[in-house]
């Protein structure tokens, strides 16, 4: 009644409803992208030119009836092109890089897999709103673990060796000569293996507290031919073994930790005197208004659904849980309490902040 008593801007409500309809389509279509990825529909269309629904169904041994409506959705989404004169659909080469080529820096299908798996936790996250509790990383749908690796790996492959390591003072030369590296929160080991392939004289240790991820990382290292120089172990960020590491890396995980200060202290103790800490964090602003953009929309949602809940479930308080959109100042402060004195932003991408941290 209070709203009815006020004058409503009809154009504004219509514009808002238009946005909502778009969001409805985006959410529902995400599942169709996952289906297209899982069934090889995009790969079958890549480089194939115009195809009818029947032709695509034959290529993928799928039901033409489902493929027909799937293609309408993909054309309505702007993911494929439709020619009404022939009834054929085409996957543009540029879109194929994002949807069908897992080695492309633009590959995004893993991101859709991750997103559709994350939202399955909605009932537990809603309850956490009421209780202030959390949800451990390992209790998410298994698609989260696979999707996370597939989503982040293309960015690491494109940037880690080519841009991020060279941005650190003296680190590239050490790795080339032979260094000892710890990758903390390594997940399925994508970042560790990329580094191991690039720097064959160095030794790498990947640590993660999620045992199934470590098992997959070991398998990936064997498949990648680097198992003799890469060791993966189940360990927490505050108790992984070893010392005098020339480089300790946290790739997109420091903000998830239940005890970021404890992790900083442990890294400080485990790092060689002239060693470096590489901290890769999602892009976020120092002010709320700096996050009111498409990237901030994604990362703030991730903070609510996955990152902050894991921190709270792992011992963080409401005040110490960093979350995905942690400011640079909060990251700097946590590392300073852990003993580090030098902290600088070494480089950045539209999605990442890359920091060099030293004693």
- What is the pLDDT confidence band of residue 10, given thresholds at 50, 70 and 90? very high
Residue 1 has pLDDT above 70, yes or no: no
**Cβ–Cβ < 8 Å for 324, 246:** no
Mean per-residue pLDDT, 120-124:
97
**What is the pLDDT, as a whole number, of residue 26?**
95
Q: Are 340 and 357 a contacting pair, CB within 8 Å?
A: yes
Per-residue pLDDT, 8: 87
The two three-digit tokens of residue 237, written as one number: 């960020």
Q: What is the pLDDT of residues 257-282, one digit of tens each?
A: 999 999 999 999 999 999 999 999 99
pLDDT of residue 166: 98
Determine the pLDDT at residue 5.
57
Domain 114-358 superfamily per CATH: Vaccinia Virus protein VP39 (3.40.50.150)
Question: In this predicted model, what pLDDT tens digit does every residue of 144-195 receive, in sequence order?
Answer: 999 999 999 999 999 999 999 999 999 999 999 999 999 999 999 999 999 9
Note the pLDDT tens digit of each residue in 291-307. 999 999 999 999 999 99
For the chain, domain boundaries: 10-101, 114-358
Can you tell me the distance from the alpha carbon of 341 to that of 300, in angstroms, rounded to the nearest whole number? 29
For 1, other C-beta atoms within 10 Å of its C-beta total 4
Name the percent of the chain in helix, strand, coil, to the closest 5: 55, 15, 30
For residue 3, pLDDT beyond 70: no
Specify the 3-state DSSP secondary structure of 204: strand
Write down the pLDDT at residue 7.
84
Q: Measured between alpha carbons, how far is 16 from 65 in angstroms, rounded to an integer? A: 34
Q: What is the mean pLDDT of residues 200-217?
A: 98
Separation between Cα atoms, residue 239 and residue 314, nearest integer Å? 14
**What dotted CATH number matches 10-101?**
1.10.10.10
Is residue 145 a contact partner of residue 217, using CB atoms and an 8 Å limit?
no
Give pLDDT tens digits for 186-206: 999 999 999 999 999 999 999
Closest CA to 79 of 63, 97, 65: 97
Largest CA distance in the chain: 73
- Tell me the CA distances in angstroms from 119 to 113, 126, 140, 153, 345, one per residue in order: 11, 11, 9, 21, 32
Say whether pLDDT at 324 is over 50: yes
Whether the predicted pLDDT of 225 surpasses 70:
yes
pLDDT digits (tens, 9 = 90+) for 50-85: 999 999 999 999 999 999 999 999 999 999 999 999
pLDDT of residue 37 exceeding 60, the answer is yes
- Rounded mean pLDDT of 229-248? 97
Residue 276 phi/psi, 5° resolution?
Answer: -125, 150
Question: In terms of pTM, does the model score above 0.85?
Answer: yes
Average pLDDT along the chain: 96
């Amino acid at each position: 009644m209070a709203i009815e008593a006020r004058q409503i801007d009809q154009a504004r409500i219509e514009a808002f409803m238009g946005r909502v309809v778009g969001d409805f389509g985006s959410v529902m279509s995400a599942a169709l992208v996952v289906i297209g990825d899982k069934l090889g529909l995009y790969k079958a269309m890549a480089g194939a030119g115009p195809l009818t629904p029947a032709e695509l169904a034959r290529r993928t041994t799928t039901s033409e009836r489902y493929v027909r409506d799937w293609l309408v959705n993909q054309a309505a989404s702007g993911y494929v092109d439709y020619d009404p004169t022939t009834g054929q659909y085409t996957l543009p080469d540029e879109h194929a890089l994002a949807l069908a080529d897992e080695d492309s820096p633009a590959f995004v299908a893993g991101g859709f897999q991750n997103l559709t798996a994350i939202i399955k936790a909605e009932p537990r996250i809603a309850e956490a709103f009421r209780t202030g509790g959390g949800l451990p990383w390992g209790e998410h749908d298994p698609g989260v673990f696979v999707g996370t690796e597939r989503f982040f790996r293309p960015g690491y492959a494109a940037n880690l060796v080519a841009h991020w390591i060279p941005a650190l003072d003296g680190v590239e030369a050490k790795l080339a000569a032979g260094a000892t590296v710890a990758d903390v929160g390594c997940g399925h080991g994508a970042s560790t293996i990329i580094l191991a392939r690039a720097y064959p004289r160095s030794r790498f240790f990947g640590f993660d507290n999620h045992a199934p991820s470590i098992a997959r990382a070991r398998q990936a290292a064997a498949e990648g031919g680097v198992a003799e120089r890469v060791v993966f172990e189940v360990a927490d960020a505050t108790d992984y073994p070893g010392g005098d590491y020339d480089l300790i890396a946290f790739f997109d995980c420091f903000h998830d930790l239940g005890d970021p200060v404890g992790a900083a202290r442990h890294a400080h103790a485990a790092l060689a005197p002239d060693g470096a800490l590489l901290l890769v964090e999602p892009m976020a602003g120092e002010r709320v208004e700096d996050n009111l953009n498409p990237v901030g929309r994604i990362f703030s949602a991730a903070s609510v659904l996955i990152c902050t809940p894991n921190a709270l479930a792992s011992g963080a308080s409401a005040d110490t849980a960093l979350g995905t959109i942690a400011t640079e100042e909060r990251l700097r402060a946590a590392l300073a309490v852990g003993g580090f004195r030098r902290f600088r932003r070494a480089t950045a991408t539209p999605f990442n902040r890359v920091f060099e941290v030293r004693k």
